[in-house]
Amino acid sequence: MSEASGTPISCVNCSRSRIHLSESLSVPRSVLMELQEHARQIEEIIATLEELADKEGIRRIKSSLKQYEQGEYVVVEDKKQLDSLLEG
């Protein structure tokens, strides 16, 4: 289907919401893509909040910041370089 006509969504006997629909609803792809992007952003926020709520997570963040400030990091420019660093 084209973006203008949208993607059909139908709900036949949706037991959780007790909605019984027999018709389809057309939602533009752009709206679905936007909703998907927002869901991804929400998942990232939840992951961040979970990490910040964990004392061990805070310890890891502080340790990583200290390493960064002391220049204890490597800039990797390609996958082969990354693979060799991870192996050794």
Distance CA 51, CA 25 (A): 39
- Domain assignment present for residue 11? The answer is no
Domain enclosing residue 47, as ranges: 29-87
Which pLDDT tens digit goes with each residue over 14-54? 555 666 666 777 889 999 999 999 999 999 999 999 988 99
**Three-state SS across the chain?**
CCCCCCEEEECCCECCCCECCCCEEEECHHHHHHHHHHHHHHHHHHHHHHHHHCHHHHHHHHHHHHHHHCCCCCCCCCHHHHHHHHHC
pLDDT tens digits, one per residue of 29-40: 999 999 999 999
Whether 46 maps to a domain, the answer reads: yes
Give domain status of residue 19, yes or no. Answer: no
Work out how many domains the chain is built from and give that number. Answer: 1
Q: Is residue 79 situated within a structural domain?
A: yes
Read off the pTM: 0.46
